[in-house]
């Protein structure tokens, strides 16, 4: 790292470098930009972060970060209690909400099972999910987990854990994205899309 930067700047850079998608090089560029745009960027960002650190908590029902507990989604009486969509992190929940296609509840696991990273069931909000399914009128659990090894391992584990309940377990279909050109797709996506084909 640049030896000429003061300790305050080095600290800023090393913290920024921990953010997803930012390595040391992008962290240095981001820090420079922040320092250059002190009033438009650095000061408001510091205030927003401090505000978030003080006010945002994880919803005790679903795990979504929000300023109130239960969160806005869990408090919304117009939503279908019978549907629980399970996601890895809140980012996936926000994507589902942007689509406007889902009007049920959510459950944020807080990660995925991973033998490689040493993540076991106790580190995720799995017991809370099982408790929720048993204790409520849920009729369907929709698994909206990534199509990765860890995502599929987690999905299989959840199916096992929910086996004793009456709930129906479904998964999001995988396949050709809207506007997707077959030429650009990887083999795995084409295989999944072919398997999930249906009469039209
Ligand atoms: Zn909630």
Mean pLDDT of 82-88: 96
Same domain, 106 and 155: yes
Q: What is the mean pLDDT of residues 144-155?
A: 93
88 and 145 part of one domain: yes
Q: Are residues 142 and 90 in the same domain?
A: yes
Q: Are residues 48 and 129 in the same domain?
A: no
Instruction: Compute the distance from residue 26 Cα to the ligand 1 centre, in Å.
Output: 34
Query: What CATH number is given to the structural domain containing 166?
Result: 3.40.1360.10
The share of the chain scoring above pLDDT 70, in percent, equals 98
Ligand 1 centroid–CA 191 distance in Å is 35
188 within a domain of the structure (yes/no): no
Average pLDDT over residues 10-32: 94
Q: What is the Å distance from ligand 1's center to 19 Cα? A: 25
Same domain for 11 and 46, yes or no, is yes
36 lies in the same domain as 98:
no
pLDDT band at 3 (very low <50, low <70, confident <90, very high): low
Residue 183 resides in a domain: no
97 in the same domain as 19: no
Taking the centre of ligand 1 as the mean of its atom positions, its distance from the CA of residue 68, in whole angstroms, is: 9
Task: Give the pLDDT confidence score for residue 90 in this predicted structure.
Answer: 95
The 10s digit of each residue's pLDDT in 42-53 is 999 999 999 999
| Six token digits for residue 42 | 């650095």
For residue 36, the domain's CATH number is: 1.10.8.420
Strand partners, 97: none
Please indicate, yes or no, whether residues 113 and 146 belong to a single structural domain of this protein.
Answer: yes
Which own/partner pairs from 61-70 qualify as long-range (CB within 8 Å, at least 24 positions apart)?
Answer: 61/132, 62/105, 62/106, 62/107, 62/108, 63/90, 63/107, 63/108, 63/109, 63/110, 63/125, 63/128, 64/90, 64/93, 64/106, 64/108, 65/90
Q: Give residue-wise pLDDT tens across range 168-185.
A: 999 998 888 887 788 888
Assigned domain for 63 exists: no
Regarding whether 86 and 26 lie in a shared domain, the answer is no
Structural domain for 16, as ranges: 7-55
CB-based contact 149:157 (threshold 8 Å)? no
CA of 75 to the centre of ligand 1 (A): 7
62 Cα: distance to centroid of ligand 1 (angstroms): 4
CA of 140 to the centre of ligand 1 (A): 17
CA of 173 to the centre of ligand 1 (A): 25
């Amino acid at each position: 790292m640049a030896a000429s930067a003061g300790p305050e700047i080095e600290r800023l850079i090393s913290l920024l470098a921990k953010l997803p998608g930012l390595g040391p090089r992008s962290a240095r560029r981001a820090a420079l930009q922040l320092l250059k745009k002190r009033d438009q960027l650095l000061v408001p960002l510091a205030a927003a972060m401090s505000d978030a650190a003080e006010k945002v908590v994880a919803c005790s029902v679903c795990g979504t970060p929000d300023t109130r507990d239960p969160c806005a989604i869990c408090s919304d009486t117009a939503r279908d209690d019978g549907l629980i969509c399970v996601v890895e992190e809140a980012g996936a929940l926000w994507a589902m909400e942007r689509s406007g296609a889902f009007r049920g509840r959510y459950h944020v696991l807080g990660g995925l099972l991973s033998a490689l990273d040493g993540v076991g069931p106790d580190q995720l909000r799995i017991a809370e999910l099982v408790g929720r399914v048993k204790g409520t009128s849920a009729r369907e659990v929709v698994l909206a987990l990534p199509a990765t090894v860890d995502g599929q391992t987690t999905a299989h584990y959840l199916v096992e854990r929910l086996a004793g309940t009456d709930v129906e377990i479904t998964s999001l279909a995988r396949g050709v994205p809207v506007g997707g050109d077959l030429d650009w797709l990887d083999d795995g996506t084409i295989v999944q899309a072919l398997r999930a084909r249906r009469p039209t």
